[in-house]
Structure 1
Amino acid sequence: MSRFEYRRFWRWFIDDFLGIVREMRWSYLPPLMIYLAAGVSGFTGIVESFFVKQELGLSASFLAGLGFWAGLPWALKMPFGHLVDLFWHRKALFVYVGAVLMAASLMIMVGLTGYKELMVGMLPADVWYVLASLISPVGFVLQDVVADAMTVEAVQPYDSEGAPIPEAALKRMHVTMQTLGRIAIIGGSALVAGIGGWLATVMSYAAMYWLSLIIPVVSVLGALIGSWNARRLRSTYERMGRSQEEIRDLLRTEECTLKPNWHILGGSAVFVAASLFLGLSTFSANKEIIFLASLAIIGYLVRQLLQDLEPSKRRDIIGIAIIVFVFRAMPSIGAGASWWQIDVLKFDEAFFGTLRQVASLLAIVGMFALRGWMSRRPIPYLVVFLSVYSTVMMLPFIGMFYGLHEWTEATFGFGARTIAIVDTMADSPLGQVAMIPMLAWIAREAPPAQKATYFAVMAAFTNLALSASSLGTNYLNRFFII
């Protein structure tokens, strides 16, 4: 490596990789704590799986149906987001209500695992479990819509001296904030994936659920720090000589004058009703009908929402959303590939767990490394690059289908597992990158009084892409049987 290349690498390492630590602000902490609480929510996942199997004896079909109902609260993210905008000056209440619901769900599980006879004396155990499974997601959705909008509040347009922050630096700060949000969620998930499994072997089920009560506490602390930070910023702006009207616009501390958008509220009600009706139906093509109906409803909501934007900004966000939608809608290799890895490559549960851990950790490292790159490149460039790169990263698994691992083991001494780990290390960061530029754009350009609504509606639109991906994967697995 030449001296020039070394200095260039060192500058990238300091500015881009470690720069995210240097650019951390106190104001970023409140939404990050709420995101972290969501990330570590899977702490009791392993314990819950064993408890349900050993103690409740619920069937797989019942649990699959329960999974549908437990996922339904996320369809409420759009009206919840609009309500958060309408009552932004009371946003902490949404976090507190969410924390109470999460704590109530965990306390039910404490009762079932530690005081089962007492609980069964009031209601059957399976009824308690269904209740716990349904109220917890509502709490997480309430907190998620607040955290999304708090990421906007976290990036203030003035520095500590009162000078306006340049547009390029402000864009970089929004990318940093959204990157840190993804890191908090993924990092929390990776952390509890290992610790939760180990603690499950040395602690009782009830003790695990008692310990998990710290999760809603973390989110409440985030809301409290957010309130303290708003007061701190108000004092800072007053010292800078900012007017009270300007401070109100920056911090949105007064009662909101935004009028309810009945298109959003009514359309969301239709969306939830359609999800319920079609989800419980027995149509042979109910998944396709649900997807098309959802796409039509959310497309209408996006159209209504974007009417207040300037034409140029409207074209920008529509283009970004479509690009991200198409990228996320690409079919995956499906469960058949996993079965092939189990049957032919002899991957076991422990190794799949290792791959998931590697993917999570490398995703975090990758977002550290790619943050500066994301802030400097246009979104179409990013998505095209990610698409090509993801295609290249599939080649090792295609090669192993034709015996690549046998040749490498005979020639170089490493086989399928080494190839899988290296491929996962190279590919894992990029799947998390695609959403960050769109979130940063919404944080920067959406109307100040409708940030939560924009986040919720655009997230619903791009999340539909995952349904499209599942449908495409289903069709591919029918035509190309592994």
Structure 2
Amino acid sequence: MGDGQGTVGRAAGQIRLAALARGLWGRLEGPLLGPIRAMRAAYLPLLAIYLASGALGLIAVADGFWVKQSLALTPADLASLAVWLQLPWTAKMVLSELVDAVAILGSRRRAYAVIGAGLIAGGLVVLAGAAGGWIAVAAPERLYLIAQLLVVVGSVVQEVVADAMSPEVVARVEADGSPRPKADVDRDLASVEVLARLAYSVGAFLVGWLAGLLAKVLAYETVFLIGLAVPAISLAGALLVRLEPGHRRGVDWRILGGGLLLAATATLLGLSAFRFAQEAVFLVSLAAVCLMLGRVMAPLAPHVRRRMAAAAAVIFAFRAVPTLGEGYRWFAIDRLGFDELFFGVLQVTGTGVGLAAMWLLTDAVVRRPPVRVLLWLTLLAALLFLPSLLLVHGVHHWTERELGIGARSIALVDEAAQSPLALLSTVPLLALVAVHAPPAQRATWFALVASLMSLAIVASQLITKHLNLLFAVDRGAYDELPSLVLAVIAAALLMPVAAILALRRRM
């Protein structure tokens, strides 16, 4: 009797377990297999461009260690430099207008891709020459700035071209020549956006550990030269991609002229001795981008405009949260003993978790109200700064002694948890743009939205710069670092929450 009851109980338990497994698979099947099902051979060359963009992380560890060891730049200097390096991303509307309307040698796509790859390659050569000492026409700090500008501008060109191509790889007609249903086309457009972000994350993941290994065993100069493989991959993708016939149109001089005027203003202010040049450029750029966005979104229904504007504003606030800056990295090197290999481990951990989150959670993010998604991301982001606070206060000594959890374990958990947040925050807005952008202005739409998000990063770097000036941190001088971390945590919580509370009814 007892054996029979036990057999029945075990059978019932197995049935419940099987039902639980089926339910779990039902939840995961769509997010896990959705991107695979959405993949088409025609998308692969385009995705190679995004993969190459992520793979530029191959030089990140070598770059960080070379700057600390060889350049006379403080964390505040580097945050200030990051502002200028981010500004080309805010001028994407100029390049996007050219890509949409001006052909070079008969090409509105591939010619620009070649230019972008050439600029990235040139920047990597200058970086290698500065590190190796065989380019000495200027101080290493100035060569570093030139190299970074070349890489950044080339990356901007490549991304503008890729964003313009992404809707054009989606077929608009069936094999028999009949038009495809609009719902199917819209679904594929959104899928390409997801696949593009996944490809970027795959590229970053594939080179994460390798970046640390190469920086550890090779000269930094050699690592920068190996990085030349990255623009070669993106160039191959651009040359092989097959596109749907594009919509040709004339130049919109209000967009192009406004962008050129903005770029000229930024350049003049940057060359001037005006103390608040960066802040002035940021405000002028923000006003210009918002005006241009208002112009291109004018044909949309009012409720769609309000929804997109509110989502953009909240995501802007989320991405404008300051970072800890390079001072924290230097603290990790000097006080925590993190070397190049471990920074490579951190990089592959962060990109790997980010890739998994993009793969598994994007569908859930798209299907849920943006306000709920962004509120949860905000709370998580603020919470996940706490491990950094523990490390700068030396709590890792106690956790290692009592729990066997040292600084490296805490840093790994912190990196793994934080990495997906910024990627996931932009998904709702990108999906809206993919669906509502007019065919003849897709590159301009993507570029303007990306410019706005880039301005959020400029705001983040500006706040980071001022916090690093207020709480001065430098090589070997980390007394102010705990106060800096507390200030960043407060900003990470208050800035997005204030925007969400103010705009939640419009989203």
Find out whether 1:481 has 2:472 as its counterpart: no
The answer for the alignment partner of 2:111 in structure 1 is 93
Structure 2 Cα separation of the partners of residues 253 and 339 of structure 1: 48
Find out whether 1:362 has 2:338 as its counterpart: no
> Is the contact made by 2:52 and 2:234 (CA closer than 8 Å) also made in structure 1?
yes
> Is the contact made by 2:270 and 2:277 (CA closer than 8 Å) also made in structure 1?
yes
TM-aligned CA deviation for residue 372 of structure 1: 1.9
* TM-score (structure 1 length as normaliser): 0.78
Q: Between 128-137 and 456-465, report the one with greater CA deviation.
A: 128-137
Q: Between 332-341 and 384-393, report the one with greater CA deviation.
A: 332-341
User: Identity over the aligned pairs, expressed in percent?
Assistant: 35
What is the 5 A alignment of 1:239-278?
251-253=244-246, 256=248, 258-278=249-269
Amino acid at match of 2:101: L
Q: Could you list the runs of 5+ residues in structure 1 that have no partner in the other structure? A: 231-250
> Is the contact made by 2:31 and 2:361 (CA closer than 8 Å) also made in structure 1?
yes
TM-aligned CA deviation for residue 321 of structure 1: 1.2
The answer for the alignment partner of 1:183 in structure 2 is 198
TM-aligned CA deviation for residue 314 of structure 1: 2.3
2:98 to 49, 72, 83: 83
What is the 5 A alignment of 1:62-73?
71-73=86-88
What is the 5 A alignment of 1:26-425?
26-45=41-60, 59-60=72-73, 71-87=86-102, 90-106=108-124, 116=134, 133-157=148-172, 164-165=180-181, 167=183, 170-199=185-214, 211-226=226-241, 229-230=242-243, 251-253=244-246, 256=248, 258-332=249-323, 346=336, 348-349=338-339, 351-395=342-386, 412-425=403-416
The answer for the alignment partner of 2:428 in structure 1 is 437
Task: Go from structure 1 to structure 2 and tell me whether the alpha carbon gap of 1:260 and 1:400 turns closer, same or farther (over 3 Å shift).
Answer: same
TM-aligned CA deviation for residue 406 of structure 1: 6.5
Amino acid at match of 1:60: L
TM-aligned CA deviation for residue 102 of structure 1: 3.4
Amino acid at match of 2:360: A
The answer for the alignment partner of 1:248 in structure 2 is none
Q: Alpha carbon RMSD of aligned pairs, Å?
A: 3.9
TM-aligned CA deviation for residue 407 of structure 1: 6.6
TM-aligned CA deviation for residue 289 of structure 1: 2.7
> Is the contact made by 1:152 and 1:444 (CA closer than 8 Å) also made in structure 2?
no
TM-aligned CA deviation for residue 182 of structure 1: 2.1
Task: Go from structure 1 to structure 2 and tell me whether the alpha carbon gap of 1:432 and 1:4 turns closer, same or farther (over 3 Å shift).
Answer: same
Give SS of 1:90's match.
Answer: coil
> Is the contact made by 2:121 and 2:231 (CA closer than 8 Å) also made in structure 1?
yes
Task: Go from structure 1 to structure 2 and tell me whether the alpha carbon gap of 1:272 and 1:24 turns closer, same or farther (over 3 Å shift).
Answer: same
Give SS of 1:308's match.
Answer: coil
TM-aligned CA deviation for residue 196 of structure 1: 3.9
Give SS of 2:297's match.
Answer: helix
1:454 to 445, 457, 468: 445
Task: Go from structure 1 to structure 2 and tell me whether the alpha carbon gap of 1:263 and 1:339 turns closer, same or farther (over 3 Å shift).
Answer: same
Structure 1 Cα separation of the partners of residues 63 and 386 of structure 2: 37
Task: Go from structure 1 to structure 2 and tell me whether the alpha carbon gap of 1:470 and 1:101 turns closer, same or farther (over 3 Å shift).
Answer: closer
> Is the contact made by 1:366 and 1:429 (CA closer than 8 Å) also made in structure 2?
yes
TM-aligned CA deviation for residue 209 of structure 1: 5.7
* TM-score (structure 2 length as normaliser): 0.74
Amino acid at match of 2:73: A
Task: Go from structure 1 to structure 2 and tell me whether the alpha carbon gap of 1:473 and 1:210 turns closer, same or farther (over 3 Å shift).
Answer: closer
> Is the contact made by 2:90 and 2:455 (CA closer than 8 Å) also made in structure 1?
no
Amino acid at match of 1:15: G
> Is the contact made by 1:149 and 1:451 (CA closer than 8 Å) also made in structure 2?
yes
> Is the contact made by 2:86 and 2:457 (CA closer than 8 Å) also made in structure 1?
no
Amino acid at match of 2:58: F
> Is the contact made by 1:172 and 1:375 (CA closer than 8 Å) also made in structure 2?
no
The answer for the alignment partner of 1:237 in structure 2 is none
Amino acid at match of 2:483: I
Find out whether 1:12 has 2:12 as its counterpart: no
CA offset digits 1:352-373 (Å, max 9, x no partner)? 5433331111101111111221
TM-aligned CA deviation for residue 42 of structure 1: 4.2
What is the aligned residue count?
450
